[in-house]
Structures are given as C-alpha cells and as structure tokens.
Amino acid sequence: MMRTLLCWIGIGVCLLGAERPVPPPGVAVPERDRAELEAGLRKLSASIDGLRGSPLVTDVIIFRDAVHFALKYNEFFKPEDIGKGKELLRAGQERADQLARGEAPWTTATGLVVRGYRSRIDDSVQPYGLVIPASWSAAAPRKWRVDAWFHGRNETLSEVNFLYERRTRPGEFTPADTIVLHLYGRYCNANKFAGEVDLFEALADVRKRYRVDENRIAIRGFSMGGGAVWHMAAHYGGRFAAAAPGAGFSESPVFLNIAKDPVQPTWWEKKLWRDYDAVDYAMNFFNLPLVAYSGEIDRQKQAADIMAQYLEKEGMRMTHIIGPQTPHRYHPDAKVEIDRRMDAILERGRDPYPRVVKFTTFTLAYNRMKWVIIDGMGEHWERATVIAEVLNSGEVKAATKNVTALTLDFGPGGAPVVPDAKATVRVDGQAVLVSGPETDRSWRVHLRKNGVKWEQVASTQGKGLEKRHHLQGPIDDAFLSRFVFVLPTGETANKGTAERIAAEQGRAIVEWRRQFRGEPLVKKDTEITEEDIATANLVLWGDPASNKVMARVMDRLPVKWGGGSVTVGAKTFP
C-alpha cells in the first residue's frame, strides 16, 4: 500500500527556524584542535567500517556521530566542549578496538553506561544513557525495574554534551535495584514528534540488552522533562506503572498566557491543542498512579495546579509533593518523599488487565488504554470515551461516546471469561454474544457500530478511505515513522515556485537535523522503489510536472494541480 503524503511548499512553514537560532552557533574551533578531531574521526570511522556486521556497532557509532555533527554543524558551544569531543573519540575508539577483539565489557558493566540504537525513522543512530545498579548481573534470572528520565530544556545539549554528562553524572534519582534510562529525546523538543518516538525506540533497545520487568516501568522528568512526562502519562498511561512529573507544562493556553497575546489563535489551532494538552486527557490518570512535584515558589507549579483541577473534575485527588519555599528545582526532602511513594507503587507494579478501564482521547493517534482500543471515532478531534468493566458474572460492559469501532484485547493468560463458551459484551446497553478466548487465555474481540447497533466483526477497519491508527492526521504522522524526502528531477511549471521549493526543501533538511538530530533520507523521484512506497512515508517536493512520483498519484487524490491552479475540494487557487 502506498503511504504517500503530499507536502509541497507548505512543509517549509512547519520547519522554519526561529529568528533566534536553535541550537545557537558554537565557538570557533582552533585549527590544531580541528585537525586532531578530524584525525580521530577518520580513525574511528575506519574502525566502524570493519564492525558493520556487529549488533553492538551502534554503541560505537554514537561517539563518532556526536563529534562529527558537532564539527559539521558548529555545535561546540563552549571551548571546553572541544575537550569533551576528544574524550568521546578516545572512548569510542576504545570500544571499537574492544569489539574488534570480540570483547564488549560495557554490556556487562554497572554504573554509568552510554549506548545507542538505530532509529527506524531516518536510520540515524540515537544515544541514550543508563545507570545500571550495582546489584545487576547479566546472569541473574530476575527482571528489572526501569525508570525512564526525560531531561529539561537545554538548547546546548548536543550529542557531545549529552554523552559527556551521561558518562559523568547519575542524575536526580537513582532508585535501588533500578535501571535508569536517560533519554536524549532527539535534543530539546519536549519529547514531541520524533522525540516522542525516541522513548519507545530506546526502551525497545534496552529490552534487547537487559531483562526488563514490563510491569515496573516508570516515567519521570523535570522542567521540560516534566512536561514530557505529563504528555506521555496522559496519552500512553496504560503502558507504565507510575509517572512522576516535576514542574513542566501540561497545557497550552494558560502556560503560554495566550489570552494576552495580540495575535489570537484560530479555531483550528485551538482544536489541535487537543493533540497534546494533558489536561484534556485527565480521565486517563484513573489507570496510572501519579506523583507530581513542584517547588512552592516555582512558576511552573502552574502545570500541576491546573492538572489537579482537571483531575478533580474526574473525581480524583492528585498527589502533589511541594518543595517548601523552593524555586525551579527539587527540594532534598521532597526527593526522599517522591522516592518513597514511587518505590511503593513500583513494588506493586502495573496491572495490565484491571477490572475497570476509563479512557478518553481526541485522536486515533492515542487509541489504547490497557485492554481497551478505540479503532474508530464518529468525529475526530472531539472527545471520545470508553468506560469498560469486567463484571463478576464474567461479562464485560462498555459505555462509549463518539466511538464507532472498538477492540477488547487481553494477552495470553489475561482473559476474564471462560474458554469453553461464548462470552457476552454489553456495549452501550446492547448485549453482543462474541467468541470466547483461545486456550492460552488470550482474548481479542473486535466490535463495530453499524448504525446504532454494535456487532462483532473480523476486523474493525471499514471499507473505503477512513481515519485509523497511524493514518489519522495531522501531517505529523509522516514524521513519526520512516519517511523519505523525494526530490524532483523535472522542471517545475513556474520558475518562482521552483526556487521556493528548492529553498524550502533545503531548509527542511537542515531543520530536521537541528531539531531532531538526524539527517533525513533523501532520494530523487527516479530512485524511489516499490519497497520505499510500501515501507515509508514519501514527502514529495515539487509539482506534478517536476516530480514523477507526484504525477503518478495525482489522479487518486482529492487535490488537482495543473493549468496554473490547484483545486482542493470545491475551491481553486491560482
């Protein structure tokens, strides 16, 4: 299936750099230092070339790439960063030499360890840091608690600075018998877009390397990292055992003081706040233990205060640890109390199949809570809710709003109904007789609303074109999984348009690197393969006259472009 998104000139608007460049320009690198760094890079790159078949080569590439990109994009922000770069090259070469000898001591080390994974989005190698407890052993049969930590805002947090810090500092919290995962998050984007995906890709890599207890994964962070925790907890709460946001932000209008902005947002901008604003998803904390922290005199205490108001509307009292007379930092006594509560929650662990699930969403991008999956919505960007409960009789009942398709999904051993008979699911008061679980006690039931009647179906995907998970919009979808920039090889009908497209595609490539720390996959329209079409989102630059791939799909789209105009629906634009 072709998964092509047409992103013409307009994509440049999404990726424009600010007047104040982020990240800021670095310092000049003296020629002697530059020569030393470049020589180290050449040697390390040659070593990496000889290790390409090793599954551990990404643990070496992180060092090479950190220094390479700092040199290429002028991201040594202070003179001392140059020394950090040299140290990272020495560490990377040491690992490369060890790996060439068939050794990999960092894979069994405790303490501070940095590692890397290759991202599916753009083939970049992304770094992450670990704090491995002294009690950990690769030979131990037990599984380990993992606390994922989201860092705060730091516009000079290059890969060099991140890796250096993760090799020298354990961080705010190091609970006993716990692996702490420090996320880079693709730089300083509050773990949005590709930064959001970084959590799940990094966790997946940690699972390959260490025995992770899936029911004892917590998310924690402070400041911008606290904002990331509010977001992840509200939207993915069913995946974690607990959340501990510190400060940060949980919504847009009040935190940004938008009421006083002379330029007010449009109706559609306000609607799109529902994609990320955690307050709108307050109901979801019914399913996730929450321990919030704020300094008493920290302006960002506002995030937890407003979240508490929304939780109260849902009948919940928020646990809020306050650091007395404390500005934007953790109070030491508060840290002890936060740890005490988090340790108690994590000792109990996550319940993957609770008897009651309460779930709300505004988009199919975030469509799962525990064993409840929303597969279809009556109107996107309006609130959809499911309150589902396993009854003592073995029945399951669900009350829905703005939901047209639903899946109940219990994994092996999780089914709440007997395996030798059909089961009853009561949706919005309608009793639906459905298939029972398999013998491994897994149970997956698809339900779809046909008019006003609910019925079991083989698949919740309807006929024809409709929104579904991962293909529901907005255009963000294109950049949350693998994508390829497809450049035109022909001539654009309008010379001015051609110049603008060339400028914007160049800007998009640069800004993806600056904000999301990868280099986009770029191909000419003549180089696109059937595999590219099947496995990647294609971002098409140009117009139907210049881009062969765009011309190939135009007759299947609700957009017409030709004869000097673009027609979208009933409207035509010159």
Contact assessment for residue 7 and residue 539, using Cβ atoms and an 8 Å cutoff:
yes
Residue 565's pLDDT band (boundaries 50, 70, 90)? confident
**In this predicted structure, what is the pLDDT of residue 188?**
97
User: To which H or E segment does residue 430 belong?
Assistant: strand 430-434
**Residue 398 pLDDT greater than 70, yes or no:** yes
Lookup result for tokens 């946001």: 245
Closest listed residue to residue 233, CA positions, set 291, 176, 175: 291
Dihedral of CA atoms 241, 244, 248, 253 in degrees, nearest 10, equals: 50
Q: Does residue 273 have a pLDDT over 70? A: yes
Phi/psi at 424 (nearest 5 deg)? -115, 125
pLDDT tens digits for 18-65?
A: 478 999 999 999 999 999 999 999 999 999 999 999 999 999 999 999
Query: What's the Rg (C-alpha) of the chain?
Result: 25
Is the backbone peptide bond immediately before 23 cis, with ω within 30 degrees of 0? yes
With vertex at residue 351, the alpha carbon angle to CA 138 and CA 322, rounded to the nearest 5 degrees, is 90
d(CA 89, CA 417): 57
CB 37 within 8 A of CB 82: yes
Taken in order 205, 211, 216, 220, the sign of the CA dihedral is negative
pLDDT, tens only, 293-321? 999 999 999 999 999 999 999 999 999 99
Measuring CA to CA, which residue among 362, 422, 350, 432 is closest to residue 398?
432
Using the predicted structure, report yes or no on whether residue 170 has a pLDDT greater than 50. yes
CB of 359 within 8 A of CB of 374?
yes
Which tokens go with 282?
A: 């307050």
In sequence order, the β-bridge partners of residue 456 are 447
Average confidence (pLDDT) over 381-393: 95
Q: Residue 562: what pLDDT?
A: 80
Inform me whether the pLDDT recorded for 5 exceeds 80.
Answer: no
pLDDT at 390: 97
Q: What is the pLDDT of residue 14?
A: 39
Q: What is the pLDDT of residue 560?
A: 86
96 Cβ partners below 8 Å, 6+ apart? Answer: 44, 47, 48, 51, 60
Say whether pLDDT at 3 is over 80: no
What are the E-state strand segments in 278-349? 291-295, 319-323
DSSP secondary structure string for all residues of 171-203:
-S---TTEEEEEE-TTSSSTT-THHHHHHHHHH
Q: How confident is the model at residue 6 (pLDDT cuts 50, 70, 90)?
A: very low
**What's the pLDDT tens digit per position in 437-479?**
999 999 999 999 999 999 999 998 877 778 999 889 888 889 9
The pLDDT score that the predictor gives to residue 392 is: 86
Q: At what angle do helices 224-236 and 194-209 cross, to 10 degrees?
A: 80
β-partners of residue 219 are 148, 243
CB 147 within 8 A of CB 183: no
pLDDT digit string, tens, across residues 355-374: 999 999 999 999 999 999 99
Residue with the two structure tokens 């949980």: 250
Alpha-carbon gap, residue 419 to 442, rounded angstroms: 9
Measured in degrees and rounded to the nearest 5, phi and psi for residue 96 equal -60, -45
pLDDT above 70 for 11: no
Phi, psi angle pair for 264, to nearest 5°: -85, 145
pLDDT band (50, 70, 90) for residue 1: very low
- 3-state helix, strand and coil shares in percent for the chain, rounded to the nearest 5: 35, 25, 40
The structure tokens listed for 328 are 């934007």
